[in-house]
Amino acid sequence: MYTFIKKQDPKIEEILRGEEKRQREGLELIPSENYVSRAVKEAMASSLTNKYSEGYPGRRYYGGQEFTDQVETLAIERAKKLFGAKYANVQPLGGANANIAMYFALLEPGDTVLGMDLSHGGHLTHGHPVTYITKIFNFIRYKMKDVETGEIDYAEMRKVAKKIKPKIILAGFSAYPRELNYKKFVSIAREVGALAVMDAAHIAGLIAGKAAKNPFDYGFDIITTTTHKTLRGPRGGLILIRKDEELAKKINKAVFPGFQGGPHMHQIAAKAVAFGEALRPSFKKYAKQIIKNTHAMEKVFKGHKARMLTGGSDNHLILLDGWKSFGVSGGEAEKLLDRAGITLNKNAIADDTRKPMDPSGIRFGTPAMTTRGFKEKEVARVAEIMIEVLTARTDAAVAKAKKEIKKLALSHPIPESFK
């Protein structure tokens, strides 16, 4: 596979093969990671990587755009069909880029955004103080009313929104296991004259696969998302506009020339391939199986009386309090399970008293395992192995787990194509 790299740069080839081996023999439980098809990889490695295509289809600043226009138009049309949008911009290089471009398109410096607090499941780009975007716009954060059920305090959100008059009310998350009440978001947004925006980066695949509700069906104006994670495409971003042409024009200007230069056409081709895969009937089965698998893992942890934030999950991820459940910090749990061949990430929980680099929680999910063909029985066993490792915390327990995880992984190889 790496014939030319092996000849030209054997050190890089060695590293790539090491990573392939790690992925092949271990299990990926980070909910924001997945496996792409061979077709997506081929598009990413195509000759389109050589081409500069500043502008949009039919309106480029360089010549030689016959095929780039075709591939970007195809990506746009497929994205619109997947999500029921009238307009789409497929050029953002990532989810953060998509969010930042969206802010610049819709806001003036000093304008206010009401978004979910990072500690309660939000994302850095939703207004965490460490990000530079907070130097330009004013972010106010809402939280859960009850961390045991995951209920958002919509009454407080409405009260705050009426007081601060945000230009955007932002839904979406990076570590929130429940489905949001989109109807309430839109109701509050309309009452205060705000735009309703959903960051669907984590659940875009579930929405596309009809396994989760579509925010557009409830009146959301804009959806931003990544194209990897549950959508199972290349790493990249996407902005969807439900129906407003003026909003679409503002978004396009913000992405280019406002925020980015030339789009990565090889990435856009890979997005088009992934969107085409997600339009197949089999993707709906995949999306539904993700949630079935999450519920199977949830059942095991409930049986062991482990503390899951929000009491469980409606989507692809589980946020577990390792400190209260097993007496192990998130950082230690991540390292222990990594040694056993299970990759997940340490994660802060709501109102965490521990430090961000060694928080109380761990975050894990089922998208990548589901891609490998895991069903309820297999993921339940993975949950049991996790409990065994986190309970014992011995070299012997880790070694035993690693052996079984490798066997499970090799019996469910990473697919090269999706039927």
Annotation marks residue 182 as catalytic: no
191 an active-site residue? no
Residues 382 and 380: their CA atoms lie apart, in Å, by 5
Contact 125, 98 (CB under 8 A): no
In the set 28, 117, 199, 378, the catalytic residue is 199
Give the relative orientation of helices 395-410 and 10-25 as an angle to the nearest 10 degrees. Answer: 90
Rounded Cα distance, 366 and 21, in Å:
20
In angstroms, the CA 388 to CA 195 distance is: 47
Per DSSP, the three-state class of 110 is coil
The one catalytic residue among 235, 335, 354, 406: 235
Catalytic residue among 25, 41, 52, 400: 52
Per the structure block, which two tokens stand in for 191? Answer: 């009452």
Name the catalytic one among 13, 25, 33, 54: 54
- What b-and-e string marks burial along 310-328, b requiring 16 or more CB atoms within 10 Å of the CB? bebbbbbbbbbbbbebbeb
Residue 370 known to be catalytic: no
The active-site residue, picked from 229, 271, 363, 402, is: 229
Residue 259 one-letter amino acid: F
CA 316 to chain centre: 10
Known active-site residue 334: no
Catalytic residue among 125, 224, 226, 370: 226
Clarify whether 229 is annotated catalytic: yes
**Residue 320, SS3 per DSSP:** strand
Annotated active-site positions, please? 52, 54, 199, 226, 229, 235
